[in-house]
Amino acid sequence: MDAAFALTESGPLNELDRAILEAEYGACLWRTGQRAEGEALLRAALAVLEPRQNEKSLHLQRARRRLAEIEAASANE
């Protein structure tokens, strides 16, 4: 995954943008059956996003919602 997110057209991703992408990728992994890896990636991304809740807050809300969906689905299993 590092290779996929390492560079953009303008250079390396900053920490916040990388966390946003990792949150989305983690949710996708979880949905495709790679649940442990996806949840771990989403939680790690939230650890970066949470302290910056005013920056790009839409992304933070989306990541929180996806984690809540994961936790609810895990509880129902």
pLDDT tens track for 11-42: 677 888 888 889 899 999 998 999 999 999 99
pLDDT value of position 3: 47
Model pTM score = 0.70
- Number of domains forming the structure of the chain: 1
Contact 48, 66 (CB under 8 A): no
pLDDT value of position 74: 85
Q: Which two tokens stand for residue 44?
A: 């790690």
Does residue 50 have a pLDDT over 70?
Answer: yes
Query: Domain range spanning residue 34?
Result: 2-76
Q: Which residue has the higher pLDDT, 70 or 55?
A: 70
pLDDT value of position 33: 93
